Amino acid sequence: MANSLNPSYNAVCSIKSSITTTLSTELAPEVRAEMIAPQLAQVNQWSSQIPLLLESTVSPTPINIIFAIRKDLFLAPFFTQSSLGIAPADLPSPFHDFLAFITKLNEAQKLGKDKIPPKVRYS
């Protein structure tokens, strides 16, 4: 299924690597954010393909790549503060779209888990 994703799984892995490299440069945070924004816009294309992401049998799953990118770009535990040190409101729009994508992905995962029938114990 992952080969049906657009951009491809391998393309997003490459984008993640590029984002990681950009984050490690000594450029100004605003410059790094502007360099990352178009790459993040490509990753955000997956936000309309969440069912494919959830059904993927590729290992590691595409979802893991998305959460790895989030871990690079935003600080734990709430993942709302940028690792670039830029106020969230001042980040380019693909960063906001990415956070919205993460929220949709988390909600879809919760819905999928809710469908698992509960174990019933008889005493």
pTM of the model: 0.84
Tell me the C-alpha distance between 7 and 43, whole Å: 7
Tell me the C-alpha distance between 62 and 27, whole Å: 29
* 62: nearest Cα among 16, 118, 122: 16
Where are the chain's structural domains?
2-114
Integer-rounded Cα Rg, in Å, for the chain is: 16
pLDDT in tens, 10-21: 999 999 999 999
DSSP element (H, E) containing 10: helix 9-23
pLDDT in tens, 48-98: 999 989 888 877 789 999 999 999 999 988 898 999 999 999 999 999 999
